[in-house]
Amino acid sequence: MPTLRLYARYPFMKGAVEYIRGLGVELEDVISDIAFEAVRSRGRQRVVNALQMGDIGEVSLVTEYEKKVELLSYPVARMIVSAVGDYYLIRKYALAEATRMERRMYEDYEEYKKAGRRRASNFLILMAESLGVDCLAAGDDFSLHICDYLTMATPLHAMEYKLVHQRVQKGRVIVNARRLIRLFRERITRMIEEQLPLPMDNDIAEALSPYIWEVMDILDDTKDKSFVSDIDTEHVEFECFPPCMKEIMASIERGENVPHMGRFSLTAFLHYIGMSNEEILKIFARSSDFADRIARYQIDHITGKISGKEYLPPECNTMRTYGLCNGGDDLCKKEWMHHPLIYYRACTKRRKK
């Protein structure tokens, strides 16, 4: 029977969600109530550590409270990652979670072995069940269905994982515990990558905004911004705005409520193509809920006047995640098109030819 300790260490486990439901904890409380500050803080730490260290980091899991915080921080971290919506971040985060779980699994396997091999192998089979892997005990080793083996081992380039180097018996691949745990890391990485980003609503993004901004800040430092260096910032060419940005501007004109990410994207975009903060402010002044002081602060923050950091608008993938990409036009369909500023740069260059 899985325990809270196991759920805290391996929050992907099947019973973990049920366990959280059983606690009677509401999502609304987790993201905003002061009582859950430690949970949010650990959720933030998981993401920041993933970006900066490639590992979510270890915490004490002695008391029931500590275990609950660790378990609940997993969905918080996933929400922060989803709200940022950046695919580089998703990959970094997924790998960091999987790397930590791999290490924990190995430690636990060694620990269970002290109580007997059967317990240790039952532990890994329990992990396999939660990961949807067909895995059986085979003496001191384990046997995997060949399809599961191939799915997990194919991304690994080391020769030792190639099928020709494996023991195969009746359609099953025999692996030792260490290799099995390594393969589980691949499974967990892919699983998290496929699950994220989660659908986000504005209330969640608003409640978690301090963490989201911080992660965006760190992420921004890791981005290659070289492609913006040759954008012509002398003349703004509205005809070359990508469809996503035209649509956000049209929504503002119509007096619609543009979500935070839409305003952020448009502000950063206008800044990078050479518009001044005053000019950007005039565009937002057309919106129905315009508040001069707040808009000014946000524009100054995004363009680096306050923070010293000029934020890039999000990539096309992130724009899609937030429902800000309306599919685009023919230029958007080019295989190299992955950023609204690349669209603008390509379009302005074409027009000059």
What does the chain come to in residues?
Answer: 353
The single residue among 69, 142, 328, 348 that binds ligand SF4, judged by CB under 6 A, is: 328
Is 244 a residue that touches ligand SF4 (CB under 6 A)?
A: yes
| Closest among 103, 73, 72, 120 to 184, alpha carbons compared | 103
For tokens 């309306």, what's the residue?
Answer: 326
Tell me how crowded residue 118 is: count the other CB atoms within 10 A of its CB.
11
**Stretch of 92-100, 153-161, 299-307, 324-332 lying at the interface with ligand SF4 (CB under 6 A):** 324-332
Is 85 a residue that touches ligand SF4 (CB under 6 A)?
A: no
Q: Cα separation of 273 and 4, whole Å?
A: 52
The single residue among 20, 299, 340, 348 that binds ligand SF4, judged by CB under 6 A, is: 340
Residues 106-165 that bind ligand SF4 (CB under 6 A): none
Q: Cα separation of 243 and 265, whole Å?
A: 13
For tokens 């359609």, what's the residue?
Answer: 171
**Coil vs helix vs strand at 172:** strand
**Stretch of 29-37, 71-79, 197-205, 336-344 lying at the interface with ligand SF4 (CB under 6 A):** 336-344
Stretch (H or E) spanning 168 = strand 167-169
Q: Cα separation of 109 and 5, whole Å?
A: 14
**Stretch of 52-60, 216-224, 242-250, 280-288 lying at the interface with ligand SF4 (CB under 6 A):** 242-250
Phi, psi at 173, each rounded to 5°: -100, 130
Is 259 a residue that touches ligand SF4 (CB under 6 A)?
A: no
Q: In the stretch 189-228, what mask flags binding to ligand SF4 with x, by CB under 6 A?
A: ----------------------------------------
Query: Would you say 242 or 259 has its CB closer to ligand SF4?
Result: 242
Is 240 a residue that touches ligand SF4 (CB under 6 A)?
A: no
| Contacts with ligand SF4, residue ranges (CB under 6 A) | 242-244, 316, 319, 325, 328, 332, 337, 340, 343
